[in-house]
Each structure stands twice: as structure tokens, then as C-alpha cells.
């Protein structure tokens, strides 16, 4: 299934990608602390998940250095090769981990990232967090050098505030390079970026929002409301307030509406939640749900086969206003 009519421009990059990409954190092979958030997926399952994503029309994948110290990048490359994809046929985004590092490390470690992903180029390189030893201006200057050396194609950030995002944009803009994206936590159950200036600034500057945790780690689908026993198997996530009884009660009215709309549109609750994300703000928001099972992939790709009515999008907006703060 091709989704040529659905691709949209990432920021002001000229690059056209599908509004749904595949988040690849779950390919970490439990290699480091970040990898422990997921069970270890075998290569054949990773290849199936990637292959079905491609078949369903998805044309881009988001990974990161910190996801298993390169394990996710390597697994993604292997799966894309198994699917017969040549360099340039798909779009790959990865991220540099800034913690306890200076901006100079961006240039020092780029070859490791390219090696992990080879033969595929880095289409989008993102600063994963705003908490490095250097400020965002120094990091953007380092990123610009990589663009000029043709080691990467586009520059993005992740988890940046409106202020830091604007500062990064200004630094790159002065060098003739666009800041194309800010990857942030965003879902119907977490709409803070609409009240803290991130969404407003992104729209003003032509920066795309890439939404991670777009299903609020599964809460928005109602599966934990329907079967609280599932809460025993969620590992580190238990500490999050949204999984506690009062958190589940707070989200219950929204979850009920999501389920009603799923019946109306003959789709799944996750598809309703994702569809709202990628359409409510026009073309500004892209989403990167993960997938550890074939059914997850089919739900992800099926999200692009319909569009919620404006009336129903507004209903979801109104029901989830409490999650803007």
C-alpha cells in the first residue's frame, strides 16, 4: 500500500515522509539501561516488524545511539537490508546522546553512528536531550559542520523547550541550515506542548513536531482500564502517575470517547488516538509509535487510511483539555 498522497514535508527540509514513522527504541536488545525498558526482540521479529511497516506505507524510522549503545541502529539496518531496501529509498532519523558530553563529541562520534547504520545515511540527526555540557548553540554549530561535510542531511532536536528550540533555530538559520524538527512527548493524554510554547513556536518557525509516546504507553487505548492485571507486567513504567488508580480514573472519560469513535470508524482505539495527533494541527505533527507485534504494525499503518472528521477531532480536543497542563 503506497501512501504517496499522505506524505508531508518534514520542517522546511524538502524531504517528504509519512505522518507515521516507526519508533525503534524496542530494538535495543536490552544492551544498556535504556534497552531494559523492552523485552529482547529477536532479529526475525525485528525484520518482520520493519518489513510490515514498509509494506504498510511507512517510509521512515527513528532510532538513537542510546537505544542499546547502537544495538537498535544495527538491528534496523539489518532489517532494512533483509527487506531489500537500498540507501536513499527510506528515511532514517537517529540521535546523539549529550549527557556528560561536550558539543565536540558530535563530530567525534558521527562515524560510529554511520558505521552502525551502514549502508544507510543519516537523514536526520537529532540532539536527544538538552542536558549536555555544551549549550544548544555550540551543539548546532557542530551539527552544521556535519551537514557541510555531508555526514548528515538534516538537523533536529529532542525534548527542547520553546526557548531552546528557538535558540537552536536561530543558530542554524544564521548558517543557512533549517532546524527541521523537535521530538517531544505528545499524546491525547499529554498535551503540555500546547500550553508551554513548544507547539506555537514550532508552527511559527516551520519546525515539525515528532511525537513520541503517542499512545501514552498504551494508556489511551483503554487496555489498562479494561484489564488492570496488565499493570503487573509494565516494568519501569509503574512509577508513572498515569498508571496509578487516580491516573486511570482521570483518563477514563477520554478513553471511553476514543473507544466510541473506534466503533464508529471501524478501527482500533490506538488508530483514533494516532489519527487525531497527525491531523489536528494540520501537517505539523508526525508520530512514531513503536511495535513489538505484527498487530501493532498493522494498527500503525492503518492509521494513515482514514481521517477523523473535524467534529470528532474537536470532541477529542475538548475531552482531553485537562491534559494540557
Active site residues: 67
**Locate cell 529532542: which residue?**
158
Handedness of CA 17, 23, 29, 35 (dihedral sign): positive
Residue 182, SS3 per DSSP = strand
Cell triple for 307: 481521517
Q: In what order do the strands lie in the sheet with 179-185?
A: 22-23, 60-62, 91-96, 122-127, 152-158, 179-185, 208-212, 285-287
Residue 47, SS3 per DSSP = helix
H/E stretch holding 127 reads: strand 122-127
For residue 42, the 8-state DSSP code is P
> Angle 251-254-257 (CA atoms, 0-180°, nearest 5)?
150
The contacts of residue 40 (CB under 8 Å, 6+ apart) are 29, 30
Helix axes 245-265, 269-280, angle to 10 degrees: 90
**How many beta carbons lie within 10 A of that of residue 8, not counting itself?**
16
Q: Are 155 and 161 in contact (CB under 8 A)?
A: no
Rounded to an integer, what distance in angstroms lies between the CA atom of residue 185 and that of residue 193?
8
Closest CA to 18 of 93, 94, 86: 93
Closest CA to 63 of 90, 101, 39: 90
Amino acid at each position: 500500500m503506497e501512501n504517496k498522497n499522505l506524505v508531508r514535508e518534514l520542517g522546511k527540509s524538502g524531504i517528504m515522509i509519512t505522518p507515521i514513522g516507526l519508533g525503534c527504541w524496542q530494538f535495543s536488545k536490552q544492551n544498556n539501561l535504556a534497552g531494559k525498558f523492552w523485552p529482547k526482540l529477536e532479529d526475525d521479529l525485528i525484520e518482520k516488524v520493519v518489513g510490515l511497516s514498509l509494506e504498510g506505507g511507512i517510509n521512515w524510522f527513528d532510532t538513537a545511539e542510546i537505544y542499546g549503545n547502537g544495538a537498535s541502529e544495527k538491528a534496523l539496518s539489518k532489517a532494512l537490508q533483509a527487506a531489500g531496501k537500498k540507501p536513499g529509498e527510506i528515511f532514517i532519523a537517529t540521535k546523539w546522546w549529550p549527557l556528560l558530553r561536550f558539543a565536540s563529541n558530535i563530530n567525534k562520534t558521527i562515524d560510529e553512528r554511520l558505521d552502525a547504520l551502514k549502508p544507510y545515511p543519516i537523514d536526520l540527526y537529532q540532539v536527544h536531550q538538552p542536558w549536555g555540557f555544551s549549550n544548544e548553540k555550540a551543539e548546532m554549530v557542530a551539527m552544521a559542520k556535519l551537514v557541510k561535510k555531508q555526514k548528515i542531511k538534516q538537523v533536529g532536536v529532542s525534548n527542547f523547550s520553546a526557548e531552546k528550540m528557538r535558540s537552536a533555530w536561530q543558530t542554524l538559520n544564521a548558517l543557512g541550515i533549517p532546524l527541521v524538527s523537535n521530538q517531544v512527548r505528545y499524546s491525547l493524554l499529554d498535551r503540555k506542548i500546547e500550553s508551554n510554547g513548544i507547539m506555537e513556536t514550532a508552527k511559527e518557525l516551520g519546525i515539525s513536531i515528532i511525537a513520541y509516546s503517542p499512545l501514552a504507553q498504551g494508556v489511551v487505548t483503554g487496555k489498562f482500564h479494561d484489564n488492570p492485571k496488565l499493570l503487573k507486567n509494565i516494568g519501569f513504567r509503574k512509577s508513572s502517575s498515569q498508571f496509578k488508580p487516580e491516573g486511570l480514573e482521570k483518563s477514563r472519560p477520554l478513553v471511553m470517547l476514543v473507544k466510541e469513535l473506534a466503533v464508529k470508524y471501524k478501527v482500533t482505539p490506538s488508530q483514533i488516538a494516532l489519527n487525531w495527533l497527525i491531523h489536528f494541527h494540520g501537517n505539523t505533527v508526525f508520530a512514531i509509535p513503536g511495535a513489538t507485534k505484527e498487530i501493532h504494525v498493522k494498527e500503525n499503518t492503518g492509521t494513515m487510511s482514514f481521517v477523523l472528521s473535524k467534529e470528532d477531532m474537536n470532541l477529542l480536543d475538548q475531552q482531553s483539555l485537562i491534559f494540557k497542563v
